[in-house]
Chain A
Amino acid sequence: MAREFQRGHKAKVSDLTAGTDLYVGVQIGGPGLTFDISCFGLDANEQLSDDRYFVFFNQPKSPEESIQLLGAQAGDTESFRVTLDRVPANIHKLSFTASLDGAGQMSQAGPGYIRVVAGGEEVVRYSFTGAEFSTERAVMLGDFYLKDVWRFAAVGQGFDGGLEALLKNFGGEVLDEEPAAPQQPEPQGAAPGFAPPPQVGAPAPQFGAPAQTPQPAPAFNAPPPAPAPQHYAPPPQGSTPPPAPAPAPSPQIHAAPTIAAPMHLVPGAVPPPPAPTPYGQPQQPPYGQPPQQPQFGQGPGHIPGQVPPPGAPAPYGRPAPHGQPAAYGRPQGGGLQAAIQMYKELPTGQRWISQNKQLVRVDLGAGGQPVLARQGSMVMYQGKVDFGYKGAGFAGRIVGNATGQEMQLMRCTGRGQVFLAENSAHLHPIELQGDGICVSAEHVLAFDESLQYEVRRIEGHGIPGGALFTMLFQGTGTVVVMTHGTPVVLPVTPTTFADSDAIVAWSAASQVIVSSQVRLRRNAYPGHSGESVNLQFRGAPGNFIVVQPYEV
């Protein structure tokens, strides 16, 4: 169980965890805000005497790699790996800081945390919210420091000046490119078309006279209008974009920062009356949040590259200006393109490719031989592909006769790419190279015709339909197995059992025994014998079974 630290709490690392190989995750974010999260390795005088121990996005690890920057993962905006016993002796303190890149102030940040994970388990977490800060531009979140032994402290101290001030505080030299590097105005993120209205108009029109107090938002998560609209990127699952500009989408026709036109033109002007309220604070009126002081002090110079191009699309909520050249010729430009980027078709090359968990694509051109697939599993194809009926053969007819439902296959021939899917089940292409696998017949989606297959029947009283039909595949080729949910692959041990309803596949060398367990269940429902059938598997080590979390 992780310990929750409050500001100022300290503890020995040895009390938290026995390990010294630690993962430090920082989550911090806010609408329109981008943070640079860095780690300073300080000497006994709390000075950054060695630049190489300033670990940040431009220098992702210290020389002996005791401190490594890992990037955004697992819900953390930024993460580090710290190996405390490899930290050199002259480093006495590792200070983790977050500083704002671009305009904004710490009070606009949403809730965040710094956490330490050891051995896959979170051992300590210090949570904070932007409401604890005001106009600071950087914050020291937590420290590992050496006082006899390594200790961890939750700091939570703000700095007014941002990264440069932090560096100066630590005695570091401010290099020119350091502040400059993160300042590149990127129309980054996936929604270049989304343009929040100017913060001049931020106080919602409902407020007659916007309060002019630069009070931070006291408790509410949704902070005030972001002054740096170019950073409006849909944050991936609750984290802000990583400090280093994420792989920015290639420039598109509408990728120019589409900033609301009247922005900054007349600082201090009356808020434009019925102007669209920014999305960043839609709840403002009902929640009684004190309106934010628009940051009039920030001239346009604070937001480089924000001069709206003439004819830029109006902010969302206004009718599209018709002076804008219609984009119909390229419908995938702009926001649409960005939104679907992550679902793009993968490049061709291999014969079988998992497009995503639920879709496989087979390239019939590569390899040449046809593919047999379950009928109706084609969702899309490109090229010249022919779909023909394929009987399941003599063995298949046995299946059909016994179960009343034949395994219906179709034969895909020709040249082109076929996308196969079935009911958004998870698909697993399994490549066989001379080995064999038994797959429960209802979990076969498709396979290469080059594979030899035969139908086997496992009889057992209590199995629905009287018997379990499996298909044994052997040879060289790929078989696509579908599972409902994420399956588990178990090694075959002397005591491996599986429910006949949940079994998906097993390696062909393992032997199946039907074992029945009779239980006297009072609540056995009518027609149910109270007997459950399990399959027991036996085999040499190295065999495995695949079970899905769903009992069809």
Chain B
Amino acid sequence: MNQQLTGYAPTPVAARMENHGSAMLKVAMVTGQDLFARVGSMVAYEGFIEYEPNPPAVRQMARDWITGEGAPLMKCTGDGLLYLADYGANVVIVNLDNDALSVNGTNVLAFDASLQWGVERVKGLAKFAGQGLFNVKISGTGWVALTSRGTPVVVDCGSGEDETYVDPDALVAWSPNLKVKGKRSFKASSLIGRGSGEAYQMAFSGQGIVVVQPSEDSTDRLRARG
């Protein structure tokens, strides 16, 4: 029996964050280097790790996130190995090196507490998206883990002469220095229920990247669990 299972043993730690398979994140926790992770994303841990859901610092930063519900982040401290996952979504690890990334709120899995971050609302789009589109802008130097339902694609906006249009439900992250605007592509026909189904997109222009997932399921499973 062990023969088949040994292949899934954790690999030796080589970095702060690593993938274990495509859908699990392994974080090497050390005292003094705290981590913010989505509440409910912990699947296993070894060592001594403490969790503080909705710490005051987060409450301040994320008061806009979804009013009245508190921020869906917990602060993890301690020493050991922490395993995180989000319902089988692919985990993408980004090591920011004095970079910045703007991540859709539901696609944030974890990030280093030493990074600068803030919650912002994408203006003009929230009312069309039905749910407000909140995103977390993370900058500095450190590790960030994102989730993507399916293997994502990264598009360089600078390569095309035109703007890049993205379905907001499929959007994972983008470079914050891109210019974002909402685009309503519906015509009169779509108002009477015969549209193309693509009523609005987000248009990005400028120099930077956009990360898109191959799924339009942007529901927040970690929150929906209740």
Do A and B belong to a common assembly? yes
A-side interface residues toward B, CB under 8 Å? 1-2, 29-32, 75, 110-111, 190-194, 221-223, 232-235, 237-238, 254, 258, 274, 276-277, 279-287, 313-314, 316-320, 324, 326-336, 338-340, 343-345, 355-359, 375-385, 387-389, 408, 410-411, 416, 419, 421-424
Give complex CA distance A282, B10 in Å.
Answer: 14
> A110 and B97: CB pair below 8 A?
no
Q: Would you give 9 A-B contacts (Cβ < 8 Å), ordered by A?
A: A29-B11, A110-B11, A235-B11, A316-B33, A336-B99, A387-B197, A423-B216, A423-B217, A424-B213
Q: Which residues of B contact A75 (CB under 8 A)?
A: 7
Give complex CA distance A194, B216 in Å.
Answer: 33
> B99 and A331: CB pair below 8 A?
yes
> A331 and B176: CB pair below 8 A?
yes
> A335 and B154: CB pair below 8 A?
no
Q: Tell me whether A317 and B33 are in contact in the complex, defined as CB-CB below 8 angstroms, given that A286-B80, A380-B167, A382-B162 are known contacts.
A: yes
Q: Which residues of B contact A344 (CB under 8 A)?
A: 153-154, 156
* B204 shortest CB reach to chain A, Å: 9
Q: Which residues of B contact A381 (CB under 8 A)?
A: 164-165, 201
* A382 shortest CB reach to chain B, Å: 5
Tell me the nearest residue of chain B to A193, going by C-beta.
Answer: B97
B64-72, B88-96, B122-130: which lies at the interface: B88-96
> B155 and A356: CB pair below 8 A?
no
Tell me the nearest residue of chain A to B90, going by C-beta.
Answer: A424
> A258 and B196: CB pair below 8 A?
no
> A410 and B79: CB pair below 8 A?
no
B12-20, B36-44, B52-60: which lies at the interface: B12-20
> A339 and B92: CB pair below 8 A?
yes
Tell me the nearest residue of chain A to B155, going by C-beta.
Answer: A345
Tell me the nearest residue of chain A to B189, going by C-beta.
Answer: A389
Q: Tell me whether A332 and B209 are in contact in the complex, defined as CB-CB below 8 angstroms, given that A387-B196, A410-B196 are known contacts.
A: yes
Contact for A286 among B11, B32, B79, B211, CB less than 8 A: B79
Q: Tell me whether A379 and B167 are in contact in the complex, defined as CB-CB below 8 angstroms, given that A234-B19, A330-B207 are known contacts.
A: yes
> A343 and B162: CB pair below 8 A?
no
> B80 and A387: CB pair below 8 A?
no
> A276 and B92: CB pair below 8 A?
no
> A331 and B160: CB pair below 8 A?
no
Chain A proximity mask over B125-168: 1 for CB below 8 Å, otherwise 0: 00000000000000011110000011111111001101111110
* A160 shortest CB reach to chain B, Å: 23
> B97 and A258: CB pair below 8 A?
yes
> A334 and B214: CB pair below 8 A?
no
Q: Which residues of B contact A379 (CB under 8 A)?
A: 166-167, 170, 212-216
> A388 and B214: CB pair below 8 A?
no
> A1 and B197: CB pair below 8 A?
no
Q: Which residues of B contact A327 (CB under 8 A)?
A: 97-99
Q: Which residues of A contact B194 (CB under 8 A)?
A: 389
Most A Cβ at <10 Å: residue of B21, B95, B162, B177: B95
> B7 and A383: CB pair below 8 A?
no
Contact for A421 among B97, B154, B170, CB less than 8 A: B170
Given A274-B32, A282-B28, A381-B164, 13 other A-B contacts at CB below 8 A?
Answer: A29-B11, A31-B14, A234-B14, A282-B30, A313-B98, A318-B114, A336-B95, A343-B153, A358-B151, A382-B162, A389-B195, A410-B196, A421-B213
Q: Which residues of A contact B28 (CB under 8 A)?
A: 279, 282-283
Q: Tell me whether A343 and B92 are in contact in the complex, defined as CB-CB below 8 angstroms, given that A276-B30, A389-B190 are known contacts.
A: yes
Q: Which residues of B contact A193 (CB under 8 A)?
A: 95-97, 141
Contact for A387 among B19, B153, B185, CB less than 8 A: B185
Q: Which residues of A contact B93 (CB under 8 A)?
A: 234, 339
Q: Which residues of A contact B80 (CB under 8 A)?
A: 282-283, 286
Q: Tell me whether A376 and B215 are in contact in the complex, defined as CB-CB below 8 angstroms, given that A313-B141, A327-B99, A383-B162 are known contacts.
A: no
Query: Does B47 count as interface, using CB distance less than 8 angstroms?
Result: yes
Q: Which residues of B contact A424 (CB under 8 A)?
A: 149-150, 213-215, 217
Give complex CA distance A43, B12 in Å.
Answer: 37
> A254 and B153: CB pair below 8 A?
no
> A326 and B98: CB pair below 8 A?
yes
Give complex CA distance A147, B10 in Å.
Answer: 39
> B30 and A331: CB pair below 8 A?
no
Counting from the closest, the 5 A-B pairs by CB-CB distance are: A424-B150, A375-B197, A334-B97, A421-B214, A193-B97
Give complex CA distance A385, B196 in Å.
Answer: 12
Tell me the nearest residue of chain B to A314, going by C-beta.
Answer: B141
* A278 shortest CB reach to chain B, Å: 8
Give complex CA distance A147, B220 in Å.
Answer: 64
> B97 and A332: CB pair below 8 A?
no
Tell me the nearest residue of chain A to B89, going by C-beta.
Answer: A424
> A336 and B96: CB pair below 8 A?
yes
Most B Cβ at <10 Å: residue of A190, A326, A381: A381
> A334 and B81: CB pair below 8 A?
no
